[in-house]
Amino acid sequence: MSATIIDGKQVAAEVRAEVTREVEAFVERHGRPPGLATILVGEDAASAVYVGGKQRACAEVGIKGFDHRLPADASRAEVVALIERLNADPDVSGILCQLPVPGHLDGVELTNLIDPDKDVDGLTVASAGRLALGLPGLRSCTPAGVIRLLDAAGVAIEGAEAVVIGRSNLFGKPMAQLLLERNATVTIAHSRTTDLADVASRADILIAAVGRAEMVRGDWIKPGAAVIDVGINRLAEPPAGRSSALVGDIAFDEALAVAGAITPVPGGVGPMTIAKLLDNTVQAARLQAGED
Amino acid sequence: MSATIIDGKQVAAEVRAEVTREVEAFVERHGRPPGLATILVGEDAASAVYVGGKQRACAEVGIKGFDHRLPADASRAEVVALIERLNADPDVSGILCQLPVPGHLDGVELTNLIDPDKDVDGLTVASAGRLALGLPGLRSCTPAGVIRLLDAAGVAIEGAEAVVIGRSNLFGKPMAQLLLERNATVTIAHSRTTDLADVASRADILIAAVGRAEMVRGDWIKPGAAVIDVGINRLAEPPAGRSSALVGDIAFDEALAVAGAITPVPGGVGPMTIAKLLDNTVQAARLQAGED
């Protein structure tokens, strides 16, 4: 039997359609759309592509974009002043500072200047604390997107054994918190885990976010498990029989034969991140308007 | 073979002796001792005992105590004004608001008004966020005390399978973070875990904090595991052969025959909490003085 492939593009399209409707309703109630401000310092090509994609996605769902670009030699004071201005601007519902920033700036420090109620990437200390304590707040986009994928695929989270491989602040740690909030029994594994294959093989829900191409093999996977691949690794050339040189952290063909459901790379988790960013922007706007 | 009993009173006495030396050195450098302010609202007898114990412990190690007591009908504004005054007072290194507070007040809200740099209980959103993101900050006393007990007992944390039963904000969640920081593979189990005995039996380090008398049985324990009992439950009368009616979450006599090391109740984790509170107060004073 072969696993169901979880179509991240399809689920992301559903989220965007929901967001579009929510934006329309917000405009009706408030006479203005939610707004997302992006801050890009410098001319890193990949970062410019990401920011461009986010701004385009905003336009598609009716969110007003504020596209702030500062030169690579912008001073800390300039960036701080911009963030403070955006924090105070009622038309700006969400703010993100595209990382990495140039070496003379501290991306963690700058991110933490964002008003937590506008922290649509969920990266500030306050957002991490709200999540850890189970308080309302904006949640990191990629882990929140994974929860949505699991729900869309009909995966039972409550009572499941979930294993998250990888413990980054950006993904693994908040992912574990969100699974715990949904009553999974959660294990966080990582590079120092003694027998990673053994730990992985317990998982009803296995989530890999380590950044090592096809590290998780088919025989690490419990038959019928839901397998979520958060890795995006670029090989020198496409593997045999594939058109894309992008592969995940999971050996897809092997896993397909064992898992119950699996996300592909590309087209799995990736599309969810921007979709949840848009969703967070609307949620932020509603909270700031005193709704919910 | 019978497990080594980890003597929490002994380890707590060592921590207090270290703190006493650190306080003396701090006084030499700064001409004043670290200070701990406790806030007790109302006349709850148990809370008064806890606060009294903390103030006495401060006196013993040379920390200056500020013992603030407000009547049960104190207004929110009065408590807020006190916290703000203590936040601004340079002689006050640490502040704790004894919980629970009377019903007309919100303990979580009040706690969050404490300056995170003075949050010696580690309970604010900012402290939880700093811990989650691996940033410097004050850590919750009981989980930090457990780490100290494991170290004192010579338990290898790195690479170990650690299972924490219980996911409270006060203990289970920060405990999991601290174990992860020390490179354990960490599982958080709880009331919705499908097969708790099976999950527990994987643990090289098993930590129970559920508040159910002797719930964890001997056959849940991996032979040789380090077992930490955070529960304190009062039975109607002492169990056969015991003088105390206090028991933990672990069936001690059964566990003793299987585990490699185990904390007793009382005299295990309990004494560590105040010891780490004193330690946190000194760390807070040093941070505020620009040391470290």
pLDDT at A39: 98
Q: Is the pLDDT of residue A242 over 90?
A: no
What is the distance in angstroms between the Cα of B275 and the nearest Cα belonging to chain A? 24
Residues A38 and A118: their CA atoms lie apart, in Å, by 12
Give the pLDDT mean for A90-99.
Answer: 97
Q: Tell me: do B92 and B145 sit in the same domain.
A: no
Q: How many Cβ contacts (< 8 angstroms) between chains A and B?
A: 96
What is the distance in angstroms between the Cα of B185 and the nearest Cα belonging to chain A? 5
Q: Can you say whether the dihedral through the CA atoms of B195, B199, B201, B205 is positive or negative?
A: negative
Q: Is the pLDDT of residue A136 over 70?
A: yes
What is the distance in angstroms between the Cα of A172 and the nearest Cα belonging to chain B? 11
Give the pLDDT mean for A7-30.
Answer: 98
Residue B91 among the catalytic residues: no
Q: Identify all chain B residues contacting A167, using CB atoms and an 8 Å cutoff.
A: 180
Q: Identify all chain A residues contacting B161, using CB atoms and an 8 Å cutoff.
A: 194, 199
List the one residue out of A100, A121, A96, A142 whose CA is nearest residue A270. Answer: A142
Report whether B198 contacts B187 (CB < 8 A).
Answer: no
Interface contact flag, A129 B130, Cβ < 8 Å? yes
pLDDT at A241: 82
- Model confidence band, residue A244 (pLDDT cutoffs 50, 70, 90): confident
Tokens 């080594």 correspond to: B4
Q: What is the CATH number of the domain that holds A73?
A: 3.40.50.10860
Give the pLDDT mean for A34-49.
Answer: 96
Residues B94 and B32: their CA atoms lie apart, in Å, by 14
Tokens 């105590």 correspond to: B65
Residues A102 and A76: their CA atoms lie apart, in Å, by 10
Q: Tell me: do B149 and B101 sit in the same domain.
A: no
For chain B, the C-alpha Rg in angstroms (whole number) is 19
Q: Tell me: do B155 and B263 sit in the same domain.
A: yes
List the one residue out of A132, A138, A62 whose CA is nearest residue A95. Answer: A138
Query: How would you write chain B as a 3-class SS string?
Result: CCCEECCHHHHHHHHHHHHHHHHHHHHHHHCCCCEEEEEEECCCHHHHHHHHHHHHHHHHHCCEEEEEEECCCCCHHHHHHHHHHHHHCCCCCEEEECCCCCCCCCHHHHHCCCCHHHECCCCCHHHHHHHHCCCCCCCCHHHHHHHHHHHHCCCCCCCCEEEEECCCCCCHHHHHHHHHHCCCEEEEECCCCCCHHHHHCCCCEEEECCCCCCCECHHHCCCCCEEEECCCEECCCCCCCCCCCEECCECHHHHHCCCCEECCCCCCCHHHHHHHHHHHHHHHHHHHCCCC
Task: Flag whether B243 is marked binding.
Answer: no
Strand duo A185-189 + B185-189: pairing: antiparallel
Range of the domain at A53: 30-115
Q: Tell me: do A86 and A169 sit in the same domain.
A: no
Beta bridge partners of A161: A185
Interface contact flag, B132 A194, Cβ < 8 Å? no
Amino acid symbol at B208 = A
Residue in chain B lying closest to A135 (CA): B125
Give the pLDDT mean for A225-253.
Answer: 92
Interface probe for B, chosen from A133, A168, A191, A205 (most Cβ of B below 10 Å), is A133
Interface contact flag, A159 B194, Cβ < 8 Å? yes
Question: Which one of B124, B125, B186 has the shortest CB-CB distance to A187?
Answer: B186
Is there a domain that residue B283 lies in?
Answer: no
Sequence-ordered strand ranges (E) for chain A: 4-5, 35-41, 64-70, 94-97, 161-165, 185-189, 205-208, 226-229, 233-234, 246-247, 261-262
Residues A94 and A114: their CA atoms lie apart, in Å, by 9
Q: Tell me: do B108 and B159 sit in the same domain.
A: no
Q: What is the CATH number of the domain that holds A207?
A: 3.40.50.720
pLDDT at B1: 64
Tokens 């120092």 correspond to: A192
List the one residue out of A248, A247, A251 whose CA is nearest residue A216. Answer: A251
Is there a domain that residue A7 lies in?
Answer: no
Is there a domain that residue A124 lies in?
Answer: no
Is there a domain that residue B136 lies in?
Answer: no
Beta bridge partners of A97: A39
Q: Tell me: do A43 and A108 sit in the same domain.
A: yes
Interface contact flag, A159 B125, Cβ < 8 Å? no
Report whether B247 contacts B233 (CB < 8 A).
Answer: yes
Tokens 């498990």 correspond to: A225
pLDDT at B57: 98
Task: Flag whether A234 is marked binding.
Answer: no
Q: Is the pLDDT of residue A119 over 90?
A: yes
CA distances from B101 to B48, B74, B79, B140 (A): 12, 10, 10, 19
- Model confidence band, residue B37 (pLDDT cutoffs 50, 70, 90): very high
Is there a domain that residue B130 lies in?
Answer: no
Beta bridge partners of B226: B205, B261
- The vertex-B245 CA angle with B242 and B246, nearest 5°, equals 105
Q: Is the pLDDT of residue A34 over 90?
A: yes
Residue B112: CA atoms inside 13 Å, Cβ hemisphere, count?
Answer: 14
Question: Which one of A129, A167, A180 has the shortest CB-CB distance to B180?
Answer: A167
Q: Is the pLDDT of residue A135 over 90?
A: yes
Extract the tokens encoding B19.
């703190």
- Model confidence band, residue B277 (pLDDT cutoffs 50, 70, 90): very high
List the one residue out of B84, B81, B100, B103 whose CA is nearest residue B92. Answer: B84
Interface of B with A (CB under 8 A): 124-135, 158-161, 167, 169, 173-174, 176-177, 180, 183, 185-190, 192-194, 199
Q: Can you say whether the dihedral through the CA atoms of B86, B91, B96, B102 is positive or negative?
A: negative
Interface contact flag, A159 B124, Cβ < 8 Å? no
Interface contact flag, B194 A173, Cβ < 8 Å? no
pLDDT at B240: 82
List the one residue out of A98, A84, A90 whose CA is nearest residue A45. Answer: A98
Interface of A with B (CB under 8 A): 124-135, 158-161, 167, 169, 173-174, 176-177, 180, 183, 185-190, 192-194, 199
Query: Which of B135-147 are b and which e, b meaning 16 or more Cβ less than 10 Å from the residue's Cβ?
Result: eebbbbbbbbbbb
Task: Flag whether B168 is marked binding.
Answer: yes
Is there a domain that residue A166 lies in?
Answer: yes
Q: Tell me: do A95 and A156 sit in the same domain.
A: no
Is there a domain that residue A126 lies in?
Answer: no
Residue B177 among the catalytic residues: no
Is there a domain that residue B291 lies in?
Answer: no
Could you give phi then psi for residue A209, rounded to 5 degrees?
A: -145, 70
| Active-site hit among A115, A119, A121, A249 | A121
- Model confidence band, residue A247 (pLDDT cutoffs 50, 70, 90): very high
The question of ipTM being above 0.90 is answered as yes
Question: Per this entry, what is the length of chain B?
Answer: 292
**What confidence tens digit (pLDDT) does each residue in B235-269 have?**
999 888 888 899 999 999 999 999 999 999 999 99
Q: Is the pLDDT of residue A104 over 70?
A: yes
Task: Flag whether B167 is marked binding.
Answer: yes
Question: Which one of A129, A158, A189 has the shortest CB-CB distance to B132?
Answer: A129
pLDDT at B292: 72
Q: Tell me: do A54 and A100 sit in the same domain.
A: yes
Q: Tell me: do B148 and B77 sit in the same domain.
A: no
Tokens 């504020």 correspond to: A66
Specify the long-range contacts of residues B219-222, CB closer than 8 Å, at least 24 apart: B219/B254, B219/B258, B220/B196, B221/B255, B221/B258, B221/B259, B222/B258
CA distances from A31 to A22, A28, A148, B70 (A): 13, 6, 30, 48
Q: Tell me: do B78 and B154 sit in the same domain.
A: no
Q: Tell me: do B111 and B152 sit in the same domain.
A: no
Q: Is the peptide bond before A33 cis (omega within 30 degrees of 0)?
A: no
**What confidence tens digit (pLDDT) does each residue in B62-110 have?**
999 999 999 999 999 999 999 999 999 999 999 999 999 999 999 999 9
Q: Is the pLDDT of residue A46 over 80?
A: yes
Interface contact flag, A185 B199, Cβ < 8 Å? yes
Residue B121 among the catalytic residues: yes
Question: Which one of A124, A160, A187 has the shortest CB-CB distance to B187?
Answer: A187
Give the pLDDT mean for A135-156.
Answer: 97
Interface contact flag, B183 A190, Cβ < 8 Å? yes
Interface contact flag, A188 B186, Cβ < 8 Å? yes
Report whether A168 contacts A123 (CB < 8 A).
Answer: no
The tally of domains found in chain A comes to 2
What is the distance in angstroms between the Cα of A133 and the nearest Cα belonging to chain B? 6
Q: Identify all chain B residues contacting A176, using CB atoms and an 8 Å cutoff.
A: 188
Q: Tell me: do B151 and B245 sit in the same domain.
A: yes
Extract the tokens encoding A184.
């999974």
Residues B281 and A181: their CA atoms lie apart, in Å, by 32
Residues A33 and A62: their CA atoms lie apart, in Å, by 7
List the one residue out of A41, A145, A38, A154 whose CA is nearest residue A94. Answer: A38
